[in-house]
């Protein structure tokens, strides 16, 4: 299997492997990345994920002519030594144990240690660069020890790393989505230095959710655009909630109030503010967590949620409605991913670009 594509590779083409690939937000950003020197590009080589629907979505949109390059398997059972050779690696390792919304078990959780499979692939295949993605809460898990351990292992694998908390709304993404992304350049490649791309070139882009959902209007036959049936109670409740408000900040009549003890999550029945980026799109949650339209008394469709994640309308998600919701919520915004991949390509092509200082210390 390792012989795939050998002998045909162009010198400035990076063959990308992905662990925990999700539905393809990172991949779409990678394969659509384009810089001034067109000889520098990223192509899909292989990907793996444990979820069948997610793999089917990835194949359908990223590599329909090469379905066998996507491995549907638990990473803990996958034989990493038999994967094709790669020049680059991307891995958005599962964030369940690092999210500020969850219990923050960090390394003690089921998902926390899964980053180590990315480290194994780095040691096995020695790609020229990698991109790792997780939630900002990773920095605080296990009192900061988890983050320090991950940084140390990535460095010891032989990479110069640049961790940065990206606020994607600053890059034109119509969603307040903050993600920790670590870019690593193999330490023996001395003439390539990655720098965090500046958000300045994207400051004038319209990143409001109104623009994202209405320009252009979503076609009636667009995939994944089925509406969720709302109960009469939910419709009545939403009519009292103004744009930007949620079920706890709105002035609701007694019969429509939520009787919740303890923590009150601000996104419960929260309506979008049409003149601002959306709040973070999530992949799971019960009643009141689906993201609600600013004007119509309803939850967003999956197609609308995908637009907030900057997937094109031609990107079709496969699986049940709830499975699609989960896939969209776990993805990295395509536009944000593409900007970072283009910065990596420019770094290798020696093409200057506007940059800023990383906001997270590299030292551990």
Rounded Cα distance between 291 and 248, Å, is 15
Is-contact 10 34, C-beta < 8 A? no
Rounded average pLDDT over 165-173: 97
**Total residue count of the chain as it appears in this document:** 364
pLDDT at 144 over 80: no
Q: Per-residue pLDDT averaged across 63-79, rounded?
A: 96
**pLDDT given at position 102:** 44
Q: What is the pLDDT of residue 8?
A: 58
In a domain, 242, yes or no: no
Between 18 and 284, the more confident residue is 18
* 361 occurs within a structural domain: no
Higher pLDDT, 102 or 297: 297
Q: How confident is the model at residue 195, as a pLDDT?
A: 98
pLDDT at 263: 56
Ranges assigned E (strand) in the chain: 13-19, 41-49, 70-72, 88-91, 129-135, 159-167, 178-186, 196-197, 355-356
**Quick one: pLDDT at residue 364?**
41
End-to-end CA distance of the chain: 37
Task: Write out pLDDT tens, residues 303-331.
Answer: 999 999 999 999 999 999 999 999 999 99
Tell me if 254 is assigned to some domain. no
Q: Which of 342, 360, 363, 359 is nearest to 351 (CA)?
A: 342
Give a yes or no: residue 291 inside a domain: no
The percent of residues above 90 in pLDDT, for the chain, comes to 78
Cα 135 to chain center, whole Å? Answer: 9
Whole-angstrom Cα distance, residue 225 to residue 173?
20
What is the per-residue pLDDT across 215-266, written as a single tens digit (0 to 9) for each? 999 998 999 999 989 999 999 999 999 999 999 999 999 999 998 766 567 8
List the CATH number of the domain containing 45.
3.40.50.150
In sequence order, what are the residues at sequence separation of 6 or more whose Cβ sits closer than 8 angstroms to the Cβ of residue 361? none
Q: Kindly tell me if the per-residue pLDDT of 107 is higher than 70.
A: no
Please give the torsion angle defined by the CA atoms of residues 214, 220, 225 and 228, in that order, rounded to the nearest 10 degrees: 100
pLDDT of residue 266: 82
**Would 224 be classed as within a structural domain?**
no
Strand order in the sheet with 70-72: 70-72, 41-49, 13-19, 88-91, 129-135, 178-186, 159-167
Q: Per-residue pLDDT averaged across 162-188, rounded?
A: 97
Phi, then psi, of 356 in degrees rounded to 5: -130, 165
What pLDDT score does 147 carry?
A: 83
List the domain range (segments joined by +) for residue 129.
Answer: 13-202+332-356
103 has pLDDT over 90: no
Catalytic residue list: 95
Give Cα separations from 168 to 47, 207, 297, 336 (angstroms).
24, 10, 27, 6
Report the share of the chain in percent with pLDDT over 70: 89
Asked whether the predicted pLDDT for residue 213 surpasses 80, the reply is yes
219 within a domain of the structure (yes/no)? no
Region 140-159: what's the mean pLDDT? Answer: 84
User: Cα-flanking dihedrals φ and ψ of residue 108, to 5°?
Assistant: -85, -5
Distance between CA atoms of 294 and 352, rounded to whole angstroms?
41
User: Please, where are the H alpha helices in the chain?
Assistant: 25-31, 52-62, 115-125, 145-156, 209-214, 232-240, 302-308, 321-330, 334-349
If one counts every other C-beta atom within 10 angstroms of the C-beta of residue 166, the result is 25
Residue 233 lies in a domain: no
- How much is the average pLDDT of 279-306? 93
Within-domain flag for 78: yes
What is the tens place of the pLDDT at every residue in 20-38?
999 999 999 999 999 999 9
Q: How many domains does the chain have?
A: 1
């Amino acid at each position: 299997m390792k012989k795939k594509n050998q002998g045909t590779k162009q010198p400035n083409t990076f063959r990308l492997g992905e662990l925990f690939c999700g539905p393809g937000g990172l991949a779409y950003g990678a394969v659509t990345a384009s810089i001034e020197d067109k000889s520098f590009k990223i192509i899909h080589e292989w990907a793996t994920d444990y979820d069948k629907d997610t793999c089917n979505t990835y194949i359908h949109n990223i590599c329909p002519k090469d379905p066998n390059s996507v491995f549907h398997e638990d990473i803990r059972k996958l034989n990493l030594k038999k994967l094709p050779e790669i020049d680059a690696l991307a891995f958005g390792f599962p964030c369940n144990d690092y999210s500020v919304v969850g219990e923050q078990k960090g390394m003690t959780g089921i998902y926390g240690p899964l980053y180590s499979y990315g480290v194994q692939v780095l040691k096995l295949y020695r790609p020229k660069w990698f991109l790792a993605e997780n939630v900002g809460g990773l920095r605080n898990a296990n009192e900061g020890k988890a983050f320090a351990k991950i940084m140390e292992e990535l460095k010891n694998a032989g990479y110069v790393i640049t961790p940065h908390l990206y606020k994607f709304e600053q890059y034109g993404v119509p969603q307040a989505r903050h993600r920790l992304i670590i870019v690593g350049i193999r330490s023996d490649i001395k003439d390539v230095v990655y720098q965090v791309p500046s958000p300045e070139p994207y400051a004038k882009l319209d990143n409001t959710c109104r623009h994202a959902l209405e320009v252009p209007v979503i076609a009636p036959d667009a995939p994944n655009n089925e509406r969720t049936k709302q109960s009469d109670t939910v419709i009545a409740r939403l009519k009292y909630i103004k744009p930007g408000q949620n079920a706890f900040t709105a002035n609701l009549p007694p019969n429509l109030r939520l009787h919740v003890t303890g923590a009150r999550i601000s996104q419960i029945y929260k309506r979008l503010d049409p003149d601002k980026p959306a709040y973070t799109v999530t992949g799971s949650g019960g009643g009141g967590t689906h993201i609600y339209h600013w004007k119509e008394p309803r939850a967003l469709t999956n197609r609308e949620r995908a637009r907030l994640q900057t997937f094109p309308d031609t990107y079709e998600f496969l699986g049940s409605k709830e499975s699609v919701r989960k896939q969209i919520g776990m993805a990295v915004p395509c536009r944000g991913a593409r900007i970072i991949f283009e910065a990596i390509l420019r770094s290798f092509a020696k093409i200057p670009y506007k940059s800023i200082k990383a906001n997270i210390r590299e030292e551990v």
